[in-house]
């Protein structure tokens, strides 16, 4: 590992110290804007972005994890979470009732044929 080179290569202190005399001075020079988000559960989140930063349209609610939007009256809908489905539910999704009746009739036919009916 070239650890020594990496340390020698970084020059964090030298350039930063000059303009950041104190934290207060720095806060004034960086324009910021406060953006408010609301999630579908009514949680309110404030987030501060640098003025030139792209503000995301949605923000994950830190309290419940749902996407939160900037419109309080119209928060983004919770993502559609697939509820647990039984095997039968999946089958019903693929097959209509008519299909099911046909398959059942077919199966019964096979059973009866096997029994010699
Ligand atoms: Zn929330």
Q: How confident is the model over 34-47, as pLDDT tens digits?
A: 999 999 999 999 99
**Is the per-residue pLDDT at 83 higher than 60?**
yes
Q: How much distance in Å is there from the Cα of 86 to the middle of ligand 1?
A: 29
Round to whole Å and give the CA distance between 39 and 77. 8
For residue 45, the tally of other CB atoms under 10 A from its CB is 15
Contact 64, 39 (CB under 8 A): yes
**Is the per-residue pLDDT at 95 higher than 90?**
no
* Confidence (pLDDT) at 43: 96
* Confidence (pLDDT) at 39: 96
Q: How much distance in Å is there from the Cα of 58 to the middle of ligand 1?
A: 12
Q: Is the dihedral of CA 24, 33, 55, 78 positive or negative?
A: positive
Query: Is pTM beyond 0.75 here?
Result: no
Interval 3-35: pLDDT, tens: 555 555 555 555 545 555 555 555 566 788 999
SS3 content of the chain, % helix, strand, coil (to 5): 40, 20, 40
């Amino acid at each position: 590992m070239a650890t020594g080179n990496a340390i020698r290569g970084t020059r964090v202190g030298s350039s930063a110290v000059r303009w950041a005399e104190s934290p207060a001075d720095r806060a004034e020079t960086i324009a910021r804007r406060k953006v408010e988000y609301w999630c579908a559960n009514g949680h309110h989140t404030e987030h501060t972005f640098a003025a030139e930063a792209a503000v995301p349209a949605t923000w994950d609610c830190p309290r419940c994890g749902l996407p939160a939007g900037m419109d309080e009256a119209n928060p983004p809908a919770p993502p559609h979470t697939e509820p647990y489905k039984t095997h039968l539910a999946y089958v019903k999704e693929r097959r209509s009732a008519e299909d099911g009746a046909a398959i059942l009739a077919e199966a019964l036919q096979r059973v009866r044929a096997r029994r010699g009916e």
